[in-house]
């Protein structure tokens, strides 16, 4: 009987044209939006050997586990419960597991996979076997707030609000189908706020990683465009450490985000507007400071599927496999 898994595994020692052993990668949940984007970014790389299984085997936990164990790196692009089950089944497997779900983002034994935040975060990712990738909305909020708290310009007791506009692809296949249905409800053509009970699943990591004493008030909005995201956090100058100004915030961001993936821009607007879809299809993020000396708006623009999910996952892969952080990314 033909063993599909064995046929795949015979290629795990394949080398690239330079004679270097390829990194074997398995995407568990590769049919979803995040998994598909990761596959798209990795498919043309000569340093990566993608392990795949048949449609039938995707529903077989033992087949998926065998792939995980035999790979160098496995991406979990699964619902939370399924990701937890996969990790439990993997036990102490030497495979690097990069989880894109919410399941392990605030688990102390896991590394939070946002290497752009600081040299410390990058170093932790390089050495980790269990990495949890940030949520899309959380990525912007944390990128904006973490360096301000770390520098001491913003106190952990600050009561913050966060607004985020996202493309509908973040809602997965079901939401994509709803928005792309030619007979869709006309209300889907207008922006829709959700997370109305202030229980959005990204709130825990937003508080945990930044070190805030309390959860921010979070207002996510989904709109009728495929991908892109604009996260803003308003501040009043009185919320800053005494004597600090908007100019100090800009200096902190310029120092923290020198690229290649996350960069600072003094002028992100086009004709007085900032479009949430500016970086659609890209894996980068633009950080900016808007407003004036008294009323300040912190701004992060990126793609909810790119820097908000798959792009950061690939950054983590790059680091654990000894590559440049931006290898294979669309910036």
Q: Sketch the domain layout of the chain as residue ranges.
A: 4-134+309-320, 136-304
What confidence score (pLDDT) does residue 13 get? 47
Q: Which architecture characterizes domain 136-304 according to CATH?
A: 2-Layer Sandwich (3.30)
How far is the C-alpha of 220 from the C-alpha of 130, rounded, in Å?
Answer: 29
Whether the bond into 260 is cis, omega within 30 of 0: yes
Q: Alpha helix locations (H) across the chain?
A: 4-9, 33-42, 61-70, 80-90, 119-127, 136-151, 172-180, 203-210, 246-256, 311-320
| Residues 6 or more apart whose Cβ sits within 8 Å of residue 198 | 215, 217, 218
How far is the C-alpha of 205 from the C-alpha of 221, rounded, in Å?
Answer: 19
Tokens of 214: 């309390």
Other beta carbons within 10 angstroms of residue 140's beta carbon come to 31
Catalytic residue among 136, 162, 244, 316: 136
Choosing among 3.40.47.10, 2.60.40.10, 3.40.50.720, 3.40.50.300, the CATH entry for 4-134+309-320 is 3.40.50.720
How far is the C-alpha of 263 from the C-alpha of 143, rounded, in Å?
Answer: 11
What confidence score (pLDDT) does residue 59 get? 86
pLDDT tens across the length of the chain (331 residues): 223 233 333 333 455 544 578 999 999 998 899 999 999 999 999 999 999 998 889 889 999 999 999 999 999 999 999 999 999 999 999 999 999 999 999 999 999 999 999 999 999 999 999 999 999 999 999 999 999 999 999 999 999 999 999 999 999 999 999 999 999 999 999 999 999 999 999 999 999 999 999 999 999 999 999 999 999 999 999 999 999 999 999 999 999 999 999 999 999 999 999 999 999 999 999 999 999 999 999 999 999 999 999 999 999 999 999 999 999 999 9
Residue 18: burial class (beta carbons within 10 Å; 0-12, 13-18, 19+): exposed
What confidence score (pLDDT) does residue 56 get? 86
- What are the two backbone dihedrals, phi and then psi, of residue 139, each rounded to the nearest 5 degrees? -55, -45
Contact in structure between 133 and 101 (CB atoms under 8 Å): no
Judge whether 136 counts as a catalytic residue.
Answer: yes
| Residues 6 or more apart whose Cβ sits within 8 Å of residue 163 | 219, 220, 221, 231, 232, 233, 234
């Amino acid at each position: 009987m033909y063993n599909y898994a064995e046929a795949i595994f015979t290629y795990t020692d394949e080398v690239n044209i330079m004679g270097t052993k390829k990194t074997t990668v398995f995407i568990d949940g590769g049919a979803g939006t995040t998994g598909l984007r990761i596959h798209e970014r990795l498919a043309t790389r000569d340093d990566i050997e993608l392990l795949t299984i048949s449609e039938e085997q995707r529903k077989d936990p033992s087949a998926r586990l065998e792939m995980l164990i035999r790979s160098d790196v496995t991406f979990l692009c699964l619902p939370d419960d399924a990701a937890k089950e996969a990790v439990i089944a993997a036990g102490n497997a030497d495979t690097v597991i990069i989880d894109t779900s919410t399941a392990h983002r605030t688990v102390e034994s896991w590394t939070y996979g946002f290497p752009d935040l600081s040299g410390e975060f990058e170093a932790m990712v390089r050495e980790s076997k269990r990495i949890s990738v940030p949520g899309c909305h959380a990525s912007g909020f944390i990128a904006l707030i973490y360096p301000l708290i770390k520098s001491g310009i913003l106190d952990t007791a600050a009561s913050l609000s966060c607004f985020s506009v996202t493309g509908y692809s973040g809602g997965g296949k079901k939401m994509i189908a709803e928005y792309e249905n030619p007979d869709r409800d006309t209300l889907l053509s207008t922006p829709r706020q959700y997370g109305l009970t202030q229980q959005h699943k990204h709130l825990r990591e937003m508080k945990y990683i930044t070190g805030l004493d309390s959860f921010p008030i979070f207002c996510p909005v989904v709109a009728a465009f495929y991908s892109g995201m604009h996260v803003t956090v308003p501040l009043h100058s009185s919320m800053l450490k005494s004597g600090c100004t908007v100019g100090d915030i800009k200096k902190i961001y310029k120092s923290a985000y020198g690229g290649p993936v996350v960069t600072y821009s003094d002028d992100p607007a086009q004709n007085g507007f900032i479009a949430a879809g500016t970086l659609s299809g890209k894996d980068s993020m633009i950080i900016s400071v808007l407003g004036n000396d008294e009323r300040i708006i912190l701004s992060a623009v990126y793609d909810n599927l790119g820097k908000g999910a798959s792009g950061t996952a690939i950054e983590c892969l790059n680091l654990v496999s000894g590559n440049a952080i931006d290898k294979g990314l669309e910036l």
